[in-house]
C-alpha cells in the first residue's frame, strides 16, 4: 500500500497526466491513504494556480465559453485544468456522453487536463472532493483552473467559494431570472456574462442586469462587477471576457486578496479535518454498543423526543473530561 502511494506520488511529481488522473480517483473515492496523499499535495504548493469558477443555468453555454478561453492562443503555454461538476448527473446521462466527446477534443491539447465530477448516487462529499481535486491540480502545476458548475445549489456554492474569480453566465432567455438574481447570485459574481448576446432581448437584459448591479453598495476601491456580452459559439466577446478575468485577477493579487483567500481556504480545511476526526471519534465513544431503537420506540410512543434524548442520554459531559 505504502509503496503503491510512493510510486504514484513519484509519477505525479514527474507530471505524468495519468498519475494526476489516478490521484484524483483516489481522492474522489476517499481510498485508503488519501489523507496522506492530500497532505503531500498541499506541501507541493498552494499558490501556483488561479481558479476561475463558472456557473449558470443548464444550457447557458458554460462549457463552450470555457473551451473557447482554454483553447485561446494566448494560453498555449499555460498549464490548464478543467473540472466540470454536475451534482444532478444521475439524470443527465446525455450531458455526460457529450462531455466525453468534449474531453476527447480537449485531450488533444497536451496542456489541458479535464475531469468531470458527478454525484454517484451517494450523498455527501461532492463539494469536498471537488475542492480536493483543485488542490491536486495546483500541486500538479496547473496554472489556470476552470471550475464549471450547473446551477447554484449548495454543492455549487461551496465549490465556487474555492474559486478566485467567479463568472455567472446568463442568457437573454433567463429574463425572468432577474427576480432570482436578487437573491444570492449577485453576491457571488465577480463577472457577469450575457451569453447568446446576438439574440433578441440581450441588450435589454444586460441593461436590467446593470441597473440591479448599480444598486449594489460599494466604495470607490471595491471591484465593479462588469457585464460582458458574448456569443460563445462564434467566439464573439471572448477577448473581452479574458480581459475581464485578467483585470479581476490583478485586482485580487494587487490587493492581497488572492493570498488571503488561499489562507482562508486552508484554515477552513484544518477545521474540517479536525471536525471530521472528532465526528468519527464521537460516534465511536458515544454510540458504540448503545442501541438507539429503544429511545426511538419511546419517541414513537410520544413519551419523549429526539432533542430530550440527546440532552439526557448523550450529555457532552460523558464525552469531555473536566478540562
Site string for its own copies, 258-297 (x = CB under 8 A): -x--xxx-xx-xxx-xxx-xxx-xxx-xxx----xx-xxx
Give the one residue of 64, 89, 130, 195 binding its own copies; rule: CB under 8 A. Answer: 89
Residue in 2, 77, 176, 219 binding its own copies, rule: CB under 8 A: 176
Residues 144-163 that bind its own copies (CB under 8 A): 150-158, 161
Query: First and final CA of the chain: distance in angstroms?
Result: 39
Name which of 20 and 129 has its Cβ closer to its own copies.
129
**Residue closer to its own copies (CB basis): 15 or 303:** 303
Segment interacting with its own copies (CB under 8 A) among 63-71, 211-219, 230-238, 302-310: 302-310
Which CB sits closer to its own copies, 49 or 112? 49
Q: What is the pattern of x (binds its own copies, CB under 8 A) and - over residues 24-63?
A: -----------xx-xxxxxxxxxx--------xxx-----
Q: Which of 119, 213, 223, 240 binds its own copies (CB under 8 A)?
A: 119
Is residue 249 part of the contact set for its own copies (CB under 8 A)?
A: no
Least Å distance, CB 263 to its own copies, is 4
124 binds its own copies (CB under 8 A): yes
227 touching its own copies, by CB under 8 A? no
Amino acid at each position: 500500500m505504502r509503496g503503491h502511494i510512493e510510486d504514484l506520488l513519484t509519477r505525479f511529481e514527474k507530471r505524468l497526466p495519468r498519475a494526476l488522473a489516478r490521484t484524483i480517483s483516489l481522492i474522489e473515492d476517499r481510498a485508503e491513504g488519501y489523507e496522506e496523499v492530500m497532505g503531500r499535495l498541499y506541501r507541493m504548493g498552494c499558490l501556483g494556480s488561479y481558479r476561475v469558477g463558472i456557473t449558470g443555468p443548464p444550457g447557458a453555454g458554460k462549457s463552450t465559453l470555457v473551451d473557447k478561453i482554454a483553447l485561446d492562443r494566448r494560453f498555449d503555454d499555460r498549464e490548464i485544468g478543467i473540472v466540470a461538476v454536475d451534482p444532478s448527473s444521475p439524470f443527465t446521462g446525455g450531458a455526460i456522453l457529450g462531455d466525453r466527446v468534449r474531453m476527447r477534443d480537449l485531450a488533444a491539447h497536451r496542456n489541458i487536463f479535464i475531469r468531470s465530477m458527478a454525484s454517484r448516487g451517494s450523498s455527501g462529499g461532492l463539494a469536498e472532493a471537488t475542492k480536493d481535486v483543485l488542490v491536486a491540480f495546483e500541486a500538479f502545476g496547473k496554472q489556470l483552473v476552470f471550475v464549471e458548475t450547473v446551477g447554484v445549489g449548495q454543492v455549487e456554492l461551496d465549490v465556487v467559494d474555492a474559486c478566485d474569480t467567479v463568472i455567472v453566465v446568463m442568457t437573454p432567455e433567463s429574463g425572468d431570472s432577474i427576480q432570482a438574481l436578487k437573491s444570492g447570485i449577485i453576491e457571488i459574481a465577480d463577472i457577469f456574462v450575457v451569453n447568446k448576446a446576438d439574440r433578441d432581448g440581450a441588450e435589454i437584459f444586460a441593461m436590467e442586469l446593470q441597473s440591479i448591479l448599480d444598486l449594489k453598495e460599494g466604495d470607490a476601491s471595491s471591484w465593479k462587477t462588469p457585464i460582458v456580452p458574448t456569443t460563445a459559439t462564434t467566439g464573439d466577446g471572448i477577448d473581452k471576457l479574458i480581459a475581464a478575468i485578467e483585470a479581476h485577477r490583478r485586482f485580487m493579487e494587487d490587493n492581497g486578496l488572492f493570498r488571503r483567500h488561499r489562507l482562508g481556504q486552508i484554515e477552513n480545511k484544518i477545521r474540517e479535518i479536525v471536525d471530521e476526526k472528532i465526528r468519527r471519534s464521537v460516534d465511536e465513544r458515544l454510540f458504540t454498543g448503545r442501541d438507539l431503537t429503544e429511545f426511538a420506540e419511546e419517541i414513537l410512543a410520544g413519551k419523549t423526543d429526539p432533542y430530550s434524548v440527546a440532552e439526557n442520554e448523550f450529555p457532552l459531559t460523558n464525552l469531555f473530561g473536566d478540562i
